[in-house]
Amino acid sequence: MPLVLWVVTGSAARSANDTTFSHLNGVQTVQLDLNSTDTIASAFHDVDKLFLLTPFQPNMVDLTSNLVNVAKNAKVKHIVKLSVMGADAEPGITPSRLHRQAEKILEEFGIPFTFLRPNFFMQNFVNFFIHTIKSQNAFYVPAGDGQISMVDVRDIASVASQVLTSNDDGGKAYNITGGEALSYYQVAEVLSREVGKKISYVNISDEDARKGMKDAGADEWTINSMIELFGIIRASYAATVSPTVEQITGNRPISFNQFAKDNAAHFK
């Protein structure tokens, strides 16, 4: 079994005392800071494969370059990069352009690679919308009635696991989506049914979304990037359904109904 290093974010393992993965049997935590090539080199000792998830921030491409340069010297045999659906679109938006630039670094360095390009995560509802759902029974998004084929991160993990443990030579890119495309209005109906209370989707303007994100402490770069993403959703450019999950794992993608059922307690 190859030794795999999972680089989750720039801060996930900056401290040698980090306990993020301490509950997982057989997982060894190593100190790693994507801004420090010394810690990267040490973390790559005896590593054969790398799962790469860099933080979404303006210097994401630089962080990727730092890591891939050391990975090549360490003779890492395969890098599986979590990218984003639409990374290959032209001209693209800020998130997709950054991910495509990071992808090109892997292509140019010559390390066998696989790109996983997921759509929006279902778990965003728990991570970002939960406060207003719990306090106001509503979530506020400037997405119109556009549809989106959201994916459960558990399915992304299953695909990544299969790719990392296979003998695939790489060089492929996979779009990863759920099994259906839903509007946020439909999502609100599902959440209402599974959670057991009326939850509404409020379609707001870009201006109101900007104000809400600014009040929440988001910086201008992040706000602009999110507004671009919601514009893609409004136009239903994120509605494409991919067969990747079933093709690679043999299982149908987790439905939003199942996600809502599994996470209902969070929204009460």
Together in a domain, 110 and 125: no
Can you tell me the distance from the alpha carbon of 113 to that of 88, in angstroms, rounded to the nearest whole number? 16
Quote the pLDDT of residue 14.
Answer: 44
| 164 domain-assigned | no
Tell me the sheet residues that pair with 156: none
Together in a domain, 259 and 218: yes
| 220 domain-assigned | yes
pLDDT at 45 over 70: yes
pLDDT at 141 over 60: yes
Together in a domain, 132 and 187: yes
Across 116-130, 156-170, 203-217, least confident range: 156-170
Going from the C-alpha of 45 to that of each of 5, 30, 78, 138, the distances in angstroms are 10, 10, 15, 48
Quote the pLDDT of residue 41.
Answer: 81
**Mean per-residue pLDDT of the chain:** 89
pLDDT band at residue 34 using 50, 70 and 90 as cut-offs: confident
185-216 pLDDT, tens digit each: 999 999 999 999 999 999 999 999 999 999 99
pLDDT band at residue 13 using 50, 70 and 90 as cut-offs: very low
pLDDT band at residue 56 using 50, 70 and 90 as cut-offs: confident
Going from the C-alpha of 158 to that of each of 99, 241, 248, the distances in angstroms are 21, 17, 9
Over residues 103-120, the mean pLDDT reads 94
71-89 pLDDT, tens digit each: 898 899 999 999 999 999 9
Together in a domain, 132 and 189: yes
pLDDT band at residue 11 using 50, 70 and 90 as cut-offs: very low
Question: Domain tally for the chain?
Answer: 2
Q: Please, are residues 190 and 260 in contact by the beta-carbon 8 Å criterion? A: yes
**Higher per-residue pLDDT: 241 or 31:** 241
Enclosing domain of residue 262: 119-151+177-242+250-268
Quote the pLDDT of residue 37.
Answer: 74
pLDDT band at residue 2 using 50, 70 and 90 as cut-offs: very low
Quote the pLDDT of residue 35.
Answer: 74
Q: What percent of the chain has pLDDT over 90?
A: 70
Together in a domain, 36 and 93: yes
pLDDT at 250 over 80: yes
| 160 domain-assigned | no
- Per-residue burial over 183-195, b = 16 or more CB atoms within 10 Å of its CB, e = otherwise: bbeebbbbbbebb
CATH of residue 220's domain is 3.90.25.10
